[in-house]
Amino acid sequence: MKVSKFGGTSVASAEQIRKVAAIVSSDPSRKIIVVSAPGKRFSEDEKVTDLLIRLADATLNNEDYEAELKEVVSRYEQIATELGLSDEITQSIENDLRGRLAAGYSDQSLFIDSIKASGEDNNAKLIAAYFTHIGMPAQYMCPKKAGLLVNDRPERVRALTEGYNKLAQLREVPGIIVFPGFFGFTKDGTLRTFNRGGSDITGSIVAAAVDAELYENFTDVDSVFAANPNIVDNPMAIKELTYREMRELAYAGFSVFHDEALMPAFLKSIPVCIKNTNNPSAPGTFIVKDRDHSNRPVIGIASDSGFSTLFVDKYLMNQEIGFGRKLLQILEDEEIPFEHTPSGIDNISVIIRSKFLNEENSERIVRRVKEELEADEVRLRTTDYSMVVLVGEGMRFTTGLAARAATAIAESGANIQMINQGSSEVSLVFGIDKKDEKIALKSLYKEFFSLIMI
Ligand SMILES: Nc1ncnc2c1ncn2[C@@H]1O[C@H](COP(=O)(O)OP(=O)(O)O)[C@@H](O)[C@H]1O
Ligand SMILES: N[C@@H](CC(=O)OP(=O)(O)O)C(=O)O
């Protein structure tokens, strides 16, 4: 049995949903289909999830939201009409949305989650109706009924493996199951969404729970490429990646697959295949436990922006027992995760995602570090900072690689502000100014890939 997830671009229009139906019907082992909300039909288009966020915001601001509501409903209406479905499905989607809007809220974030989740929920209902309409026996599956359990920490929603036993019963359901991505329910029945792009996570959880032979992730590119195709022209296609490599690349900017989506599949050793809905015969990229990495030390280069650095300097810091713990405790008190901690004998930098910082907590952190740790110098640099990351299982067996990478970045004119070789040696991270991100990435790509045949 395969679990096949279709992303926003794969279910953005009637034409795309017809392709999905053809893919599903071509392989009887594609039994569980996880779907996103309709995504972008063209580059300037808006995803339904973004329209829904605007709708939720308008409601919370006590504004008239009819225009926003109409925009969402008309996206489904157009799809349903073009697929030859009756008005009934559009009417039920509108009723569902009006019900969610009228339900009231004790907590704004729960309200926003409920509105956001309607994007996938209603699309799953529509797609199940279409499959049935064209003679493919299918049913919509509610994640609550199926047992997709999540924790109740709103800032970090994660699936609970306790739900897996119930989810495993999906194996016994006859016909095709259309499962909405992006959300689950806490033990007390509260709906919570994963982070943006989280339908990939749903697919992985369901695949792990039912012990799928394969988790297919259908998107709009033929494969994962060695660099972001929006930055590097015609990057090399990757045939095979390990879970670790994909996790590092997804974390560092390969938005094609959610970095949190690997863990459920990894724990059950379920292979993952990234494939193209618009070209399903292309082999795609396989994500597996092990691969032969002897001929290529670096498999991909990713980059991401939106980082800040907290720099702390104190004479004889290396001799002060507990300094690092106390510093990280201050961040923990603020519920702020950290990404990297490059350090010297008298100083340490903590790299933080800027989205976790605001004026208030930034001021508090700097003050506490100065006062409580008696630091000589504390600087919180919140101007945009980027990470460029080289990833490959073969890197740890290759000498001179860091020097080659540093030279390539220097030749691009970018100034390296931080280097961090992960202890696993699967990744090598360079911190640079955001303005230099693209040029450094291109230069690294040229160094490590341009002379290699695919
Ligand atoms: N290294 C990469 N390889 C392939 N695609 C990438 C890479 N980095 C970024 N992308 C982008 O990821 C996009 C697919 O992800 P996403 O938009 O989330 O798809 P979906 O709508 O299917 O969930 C591609 O269109 C591509 O622009
Ligand atoms: N629709 C949600 C979840 C998701 O996974 O979407 P997509 O498959 O389009 O990345 C979002 O936009 O975040």
For ligand 2, atom 5, which residue shows the shortest CA distance?
Answer: 197
HSE-CB of 371 using CA atoms within 13 angstroms: 7
Q: Dump pLDDT digits (tens) for 196-255.
A: 999 999 999 999 999 999 999 999 999 999 999 999 999 999 999 999 999 999 988 998
Residues 27 and 152 in one domain: yes
- Tell me, yes or no, whether 269 lies in a domain: no
The span from the CA of 307 to the CA of 185, in Å, is 31
Ligand nearest to the Cα of 203, by number:
2
For ligand 1, atom 15, which residue shows the shortest CA distance?
Answer: 256
Residues 201 and 347 in one domain: no
DSSP character string of 33-49: EEE-----SSTT---HH
The span from the CA of 189 to the CA of 413, in Å, is 54
User: Region 416-438: what's the mean pLDDT?
Assistant: 88
For ligand 1, atom 17, which residue shows the shortest CA distance?
Answer: 256
Residues 401 and 304 in one domain: yes
The span from the CA of 183 to the CA of 175, in Å, is 23
- Tell me, yes or no, whether 246 lies in a domain: no
Residues 205 and 322 in one domain: no
Q: What is the pLDDT of residue 311?
A: 95
The tokens for 51 are 């329209």
- Tell me, yes or no, whether 445 lies in a domain: yes
> Which of the listed residues 220, 253, 273 is the one where a domain comes to its end?
220
What is the number of domains present in the chain? Answer: 2
The span from the CA of 242 to the CA of 299, in Å, is 10
Which H or E run includes 427? strand 427-433
Can you give the pTM of this predicted structure?
A: 0.92
- Tell me, yes or no, whether 129 lies in a domain: yes
| Centroid of ligand 1 to alpha carbon of 200 (angstroms) | 12
> Which of the listed residues 159, 190, 220 is the one where a domain comes to its end?
220
The span from the CA of 337 to the CA of 253, in Å, is 18
- Confidence category of residue 454, pLDDT binned at 50, 70, 90: very low
Tell me the torsion sign for CA atoms 405, 407, 411, 416.
Answer: positive
- Tell me, yes or no, whether 275 lies in a domain: no
395: phi then psi, degrees, rounded to nearest 5: -65, -35
> Which of the listed residues 199, 220, 241 is the one where a domain comes to its end?
220
Instruction: Please work out whether the CB of residue 39 comes within 6 Å of at least one atom of ligand 1.
Output: yes
- Tell me, yes or no, whether 406 lies in a domain: yes
Q: What is the pLDDT of residue 451?
A: 62
Range of the domain at 160: 2-38+119-220
165: phi then psi, degrees, rounded to nearest 5: -60, -40
Q: Dump pLDDT digits (tens) for 284-329.
A: 999 999 898 877 889 999 999 999 999 999 999 999 999 999 999 9
